[in-house]
């Protein structure tokens, strides 16, 4: 051990000759440059048997650690013995060494035959600590000092938007890009007749069957996104801040965000649809979904009345499946039971929303779909099924209306979404009001999604400076769509110049 501020060249040579194994710099002034040169020369010559020296000050140790202990004693009126102080300093230096070494292993690639650089590792550890402290205190900003585009959400539609022939315009316009994707779809699913043949030339009844409709809609949505990326240079990770999808559309959103691989998601939604179809077929009752439309100031009261009646009558196989907007929500289950609920709230609670039967023969997002939840848990827990790291975009959960916070939460919530309500309206409100999303990009067949978003955020079309609700369902919309992207980017630039 040393009690001075610096290790000189002579002392470095003496330490090496005496067989010292490790030096921890315990001051704000560590080894002299001459000493460092000697240590480095020895390290290159002796490799693993050379002396190790830890740059304590680079990992926020040394004299800073001593000062910290002094301040802790003074501010908290603490008293430590000399032995206690020595032990605390020893532990600090040990932690600094381990932190520097482990950080070096993670971020620094050493030359062959050498150890990772403790200097580089400790410096990186120090920078990470400062950055984390800034983040925790709210003193945080992005790498750019000015916005280059509006905050953007990418959203995808759910079941019900499928139609025979929806891929034909894309295949005609971009055959070299679309044809390989169609081949990938059919090779992945390996069903007969093929999914792409059902989409291009099947019957409406065949395509509407949920085991076909779900992969068809998801595949079409991602195909359109792939055309944008390959043919027009659309960079999802650089253009989009967050993704979301309505019900089934959550899978397309997870693919776009990077959480799921396209082919894996395709298999999942096919199996998901098969099990859902089986759940529906296992009951003799007529199952389905009914949308209810009411005035904005009546929605919550109507929802409360329905929820209250269902809780008082647990034998009724009906439940709230989707909350789509401030004027619309959906009930799912036994159609006769749903009509019983509607009759009750009209007679006893004076609520008479307009009811619209949806083109769905399955009670989606109801407890009757529990077998689907069990299946999805298994599929999502397969090795490497889910990616959740810094490379993925935030994605909004249908169940919580907030971003997934971990891979484990993603697996749990995505599986449960088959049997629990979709909080679509709450998701849009969260992104619009809290996250300040200004530009909304809808990708996929149908116009239902863009209409629901547009009604809530009040920004339709491309005339909104720096934002708006943009949508792409057909190649005929591409010119207007691409111009809208460019114009909204320019509008942000003009605002900050």
User: Does the residue 58 lie in any domain?
Assistant: yes
CATH of the domain at 457: 3.40.366.10
User: Does the residue 490 lie in any domain?
Assistant: yes
Asked if 455 and 401 sit in the same domain, the reply is yes
Are 319 and 419 in contact, with CB atoms under 8 Å apart?
no
User: Does the residue 370 lie in any domain?
Assistant: no
Q: Name the residue with tokens 């199952």.
A: 287
Q: Name the residue with tokens 């659309």.
A: 234
- pTM higher than the cut 0.75: no
The Cα–Cα gap between 22 and 246 comes to: 59
Are 243 and 396 in contact, with CB atoms under 8 Å apart?
yes
User: Does the residue 101 lie in any domain?
Assistant: yes
Asked if 437 and 393 sit in the same domain, the reply is yes
Instruction: List the chain pLDDT tens, one digit each, 497 residues.
Output: 444 567 788 888 888 888 887 776 555 556 777 888 888 888 777 776 777 765 544 444 445 555 666 666 665 566 778 888 888 878 877 887 888 888 888 887 776 656 677 777 777 887 787 777 666 665 544 444 445 789 999 999 998 899 999 999 999 999 999 999 999 999 999 999 999 999 999 999 999 999 999 999 999 999 999 999 999 999 999 999 999 999 999 999 999 999 999 999 999 999 999 999 999 888 888 999 999 999 999 999 999 999 999 999 999 999 999 999 999 999 999 999 999 999 999 988 888 899 999 877 789 999 999 999 999 999 999 999 999 999 999 999 999 999 999 999 999 999 999 999 999 999 999 999 999 999 999 999 988 788 889 888 875 544 455 578 999 999 999 999 999 998 888 765 454 44
**How many structural domains is the chain composed of?**
3
Return the HEC string of 418-481: CCCCECHHHHHHHHHHHCCCCEEEEECCCCHHHHHHHHHHCCEECCCCCCEEEEECCHHHHHHH
Asked if 32 and 131 sit in the same domain, the reply is yes
- Give the three-state DSSP class for 242: strand
User: Does the residue 76 lie in any domain?
Assistant: yes
Q: What are phi and psi of 74, to 5 degrees?
A: -70, -45
Are 195 and 284 in contact, with CB atoms under 8 Å apart?
no
Asked if 161 and 88 sit in the same domain, the reply is no
User: Does the residue 349 lie in any domain?
Assistant: yes
User: Does the residue 422 lie in any domain?
Assistant: yes
Asked if 86 and 111 sit in the same domain, the reply is yes
User: Residue 220 has which token pair?
Assistant: 């079409």
Asked if 18 and 127 sit in the same domain, the reply is yes
Q: What are phi and psi of 193, to 5 degrees?
A: -65, 160
Residue span of the structural domain in which 306 resides = 287-357
Asked if 441 and 474 sit in the same domain, the reply is yes
Asked if 326 and 245 sit in the same domain, the reply is no
User: Does the residue 372 lie in any domain?
Assistant: no
Asked if 16 and 160 sit in the same domain, the reply is no
CATH of the domain at 121: 3.40.50.720
pLDDT confidence of residue 142: 42
Asked if 420 and 485 sit in the same domain, the reply is yes
Asked if 425 and 297 sit in the same domain, the reply is no
CATH of the domain at 303: 3.30.70.250
| Number of C-beta neighbours around residue 22 at 10 A | 11
Asked if 161 and 262 sit in the same domain, the reply is yes
Distances (CA, A) of 36 to 39, 99, 170, 269: 5, 20, 65, 60
């Amino acid at each position: 051990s040393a009690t001075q501020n610096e290790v000189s060249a002579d002392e470095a040579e003496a330490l090496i000759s005496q067989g010292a194994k490790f030096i921890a710099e315990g001051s704000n002034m560590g080894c002299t440059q001459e000493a460092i040169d000697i240590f480095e020369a020895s390290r290159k010559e002796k490799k693993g048997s050379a002396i190790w020296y830890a740059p304590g000050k680079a990992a926020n140790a040394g004299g800073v650690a001593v000062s910290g202990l002094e301040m802790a004693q003074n501010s908290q009126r603490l008293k430590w013995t000399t032995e206690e102080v020595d032990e605390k300093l020893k532990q600090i230096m040990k932690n600094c060494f381990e932190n520097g070494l482990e950080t070096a292993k993670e971020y620094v690639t050493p030359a062959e035959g050498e150890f990772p650089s403790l200097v580089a590792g400790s410096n990186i550890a120090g920078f990470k600590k400062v950055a984390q402290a800034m983040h925790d205190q709210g003193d945080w900003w992005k790498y750019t000092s000015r916005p280059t585009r509006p905050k953007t959400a990418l959203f995808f539609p759910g079941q019900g938007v499928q139609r025979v022939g929806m891929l034909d315009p894309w295949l005609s316009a971009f055959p070299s890009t679309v044809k390989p994707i169609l081949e990938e779809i059919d090779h992945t699913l390996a069903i007969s007749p093929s999914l792409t043949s059902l989409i291009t030339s099947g019957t409406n009844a065949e395509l509407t069957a949920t085991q076909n409709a779900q992969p068809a809609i998801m595949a079409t949505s991602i195909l359109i996104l792939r055309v944008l990326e390959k043919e027009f240079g659309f960079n999802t990770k650089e253009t989009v801040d967050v993704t979301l999808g309505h019900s089934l559309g959550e899978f397309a959103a997870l693919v776009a965000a990077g959480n799921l691989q396209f082919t894996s998601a395709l298999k999942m939604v096919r199996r998901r649809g098969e099990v859902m179809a089986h759940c529906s077929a296992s009951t003799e009752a007529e199952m389905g979904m009914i949308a209810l439309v009411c005035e904005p100031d009546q929605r919550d009261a109507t929802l409360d009345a329905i929820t209250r009646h269902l809780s008082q009558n647990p034998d009724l196989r009906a439940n709230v499946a989707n909350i789509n907007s401030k004027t619309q929500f959906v009930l799912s289950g036994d159609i006769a039971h749903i009509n019983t609920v509607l009759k009750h709230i009209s007679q006893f609670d004076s609520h008479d929303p307009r009811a619209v039967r949806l083109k769905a023969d399955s009670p989606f997002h109801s407890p009757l779909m529990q077998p689907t939840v069990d299946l999805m848990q298994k599929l999502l827990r397969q090795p490497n099924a889910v990616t959740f790291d810094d490379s993925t975009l935030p994605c909004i959960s249908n169940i919580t209306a907030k971003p997934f916070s971990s891979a484990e939460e993603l697996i749990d919530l995505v599986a449960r979404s088959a049997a629990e309500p979709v909080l679509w309206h709450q998701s849009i409100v969260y992104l619009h009001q809290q996250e300040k999303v200004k530009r909304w990009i809808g990708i996929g067949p149908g116009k239902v999604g863009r209409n629901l978003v547009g009604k809530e955020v009040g920004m339709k079309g491309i005339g909104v400076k720096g934002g708006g609700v943009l949508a792409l369902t057909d190649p005929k919309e591409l010119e207007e769509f691409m111009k809208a992207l460019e114009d909204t980017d320019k509008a942000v630039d003009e605002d900050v110049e």
